[in-house]
Amino acid sequence: MASPTGPIAITPFGPRRHPPQQPLANPGPLHAGAAERHVARSESVSEHQRRLFTLGLESHVDLASQIRYDAERCVACGLCLPHCPTYRETRTENESPRGRIALMRALASGELSMSARLEAHLALCLSCRNCERVCPANVSYGRLIDNGRALIETRRQRPMGERLLKRFAMDALLGRPYRLRMLAKTLRAYQVSGLQRTLRATGLLRLAGLRRLDSLLAPVPPQSRWRDHYPAHGKAIGRVALFTGCVTDVFDRRTLTATIRVLNTLGYDVDVPRAQGCCGALHQHSGELRKANALMQRNTAAFDVSSLDAIISTASGCGAMLSEYAMLLPDSRDARLFTNKIKDVGRFVINSPWPAHAKLTALDARVAIHTPCTQLNVLRDADSTCELLERIPGLKLSTLPDNDRCCGAAGVYFLTHPTMAKTLRDRKLQKLASSRPDILATSNIGCAMHLQDGLQAARLDTEVVHPMVLIARQLRIDGPSRAQDRSVGIDRAG
C-alpha cells in the first residue's frame, strides 16, 4: 500500500489518514461489454480500494477516499447535463451530474458539511446513469452516487419511524424470500377475497393514505415453489440457471414461467437454485453497502457456476446489478466467475440456435418498446428487445420516443419521489396516448409496474409485458392448462 500522506480525519476508530490520491488509470473502452468494462475498471483501482470494496466497509474515511478518487475524473465539461432527467426538469446545477459530483467531492473532502439540502440533491438522483453513458471522461457515476449515499448513511441519524420502515422493507422482506412470499400470499388473499374491491369502493384506502400503494398493486399470482430443475425438450444443448430475484419472483412469475418454457423449448435444461435471493441492487443504491455485499455473496454461493453455460436474468434491473458483482467484489474469484456467466435473457435467446419446431406464430399488433435505463446504460444492450421481437411475424414495432430518458420508476424512486417520478412518467404516457399501441414491451419489472399504474390511471388499455411473455405466447407455450404445465414441467405459478 502506498505510504499515507493525505490529511488526517477523525473517525469512530480514532484518527486516520486519507490515502493519497491515486493516479487515474484508463478504465477501459466506453463500449466494451458490461462485465469486461467493470472488471477493467476494478483492475484500475488500487489495492487499498480493492480491500475497501471487498470488506464493504462504510466508515466515512474509506468511502470518502473512494468518492474523491472517482470524482477526480470529472473535468466539469457539462456534456452530461442535457442527458440528465432531473436537470432537464429543474434546470438546477445541484440537480445535475456535474453538480452532484461537486457536492459529493466537497462532502468527502470536508469542505462541505452534511445537511438536509445536500442529502435531498443526492436523493433526487434517479441512479439512471445516463450521465455515465455519455461522459467522455468515463466517470463512474453509478459507483459515486452509491458511495455518496453510503457516506451520508454513516453521518445521518434517521428518525425512528423512518429507520423501522426501512429495516422492515429492506431487511425483513427483500432479504428474506420466504417472508416476501408470505406477504404476497396475504396480498393475494386481500385481492381475491373481495376486500380490495370493498375498500376501494368505500374510499377507506384514500382516508388511510394507502390509495397510491393499492393502485400500484398488480394482481398477485399464486405463490408456489419452483422446481429445482426443468428439463429441456428433447436432447439438451446446454444447461442454464434462472435468476428469479425477489420482486420478480413474487409479482412477475408469468415472465419467469415464460422464460423457463422458452429455454426448455430451445433445448436448455434450466436449474432454479433455491438458495438464491435478492440481487442487492436496492440496498446498493440506497447506501446500504454492507447488506448489499452480504446478498451478493449469498448469490455467488447459490449457483454452481462451473456446471452452467449461463445464469439467465430476466429483469434488466437485476441483470445490471448481477453484471457488476465482479466490480463490487473485486477480490472474489466466485464473483468474477459468476459475473462472467450472467446473461440477459433477451440477448441469450437471440444468440441461441432455434430448433425447427420452435416456430413463432404471427401477431397482428402494434408493439411499443420501452428501454429501461439499466438495459441502456449498464448492460449497454438497448437493441435486444427490438431484435428479439422482430422475429415475430406481423408485429408493428416501434421504440418509444425519448427511450434514453428514465420513466421515473428507478427501483423504489417512484415511491420515495412520487412527484418527479410522475412528471417523468407523464412524458412517456403522452407519447403512448397519441400512438396507442396494443402492447408495451419492457424488460424491467419496476418500469412495467410504474408504467402500468400510469396507463391505468390514464384509462389507456395498452398491455404491459416482458418480451419473453410475447415470445412464449407466439410459440404457443404460454397456455395456463395443467396438461401443458405438466408437459413442460412447470409448477403452476399464474
Binds ligand SF4 (CB under 6 A): choice among 8, 10, 77, 208: 77
Binds ligand SF4 (CB under 6 A): choice among 128, 278, 289, 464: 128
Residues touching ligand SF4: how many (CB under 6 A)? 26
Please report how close the Cβ of residue 81 comes to ligand SF4 at its closest, in angstroms: 7
Stretch 274-303 residues interacting with ligand SF4 (CB under 6 A) = none
Please report how close the Cβ of residue 86 comes to ligand SF4 at its closest, in angstroms: 5
Please report how close the Cβ of residue 65 comes to ligand SF4 at its closest, in angstroms: 19
Residue 199 within binding range of ligand SF4, rule CB under 6 A: no
Kindly write out the interface string for residues 57-76 of this chain, putting x where it contacts ligand SF4 by CB under 6 A and - elsewhere.
-----------------xxx
Residue 139 within binding range of ligand SF4, rule CB under 6 A: yes
Please report how close the Cβ of residue 73 comes to ligand SF4 at its closest, in angstroms: 7
Residue 336 within binding range of ligand SF4, rule CB under 6 A: no
Which of 10-18, 130-138, 212-220, 293-301 is the region at the interface with ligand SF4 (rule: CB under 6 A)? 130-138
Residue 407 within binding range of ligand SF4, rule CB under 6 A: no
Residue 125 within binding range of ligand SF4, rule CB under 6 A: yes
Instruction: Give the residue with the Cβ less far from ligand SF4, 93 or 214.
Output: 93
Which of 8-16, 136-144, 361-369, 428-436 is the region at the interface with ligand SF4 (rule: CB under 6 A)? 136-144
Residue 411 within binding range of ligand SF4, rule CB under 6 A: no
Residue 102 within binding range of ligand SF4, rule CB under 6 A: no
Residue 127 within binding range of ligand SF4, rule CB under 6 A: yes
Binds ligand SF4 (CB under 6 A): choice among 97, 177, 319, 408: 97
Instruction: Give the residue with the Cβ less far from ligand SF4, 30 or 75.
Output: 75
Please report how close the Cβ of residue 152 comes to ligand SF4 at its closest, in angstroms: 15
Binds ligand SF4 (CB under 6 A): choice among 137, 302, 386, 415: 137
Which of 7-15, 121-129, 210-218, 451-459 is the region at the interface with ligand SF4 (rule: CB under 6 A)? 121-129
Closest to 416 measured CA to CA, from 124, 10, 71, 37: 124
Residues of this chain that interact with ligand SF4 (CB under 6 A) are 74-80, 83-86, 97-98, 100-101, 125-131, 135, 137, 139, 141
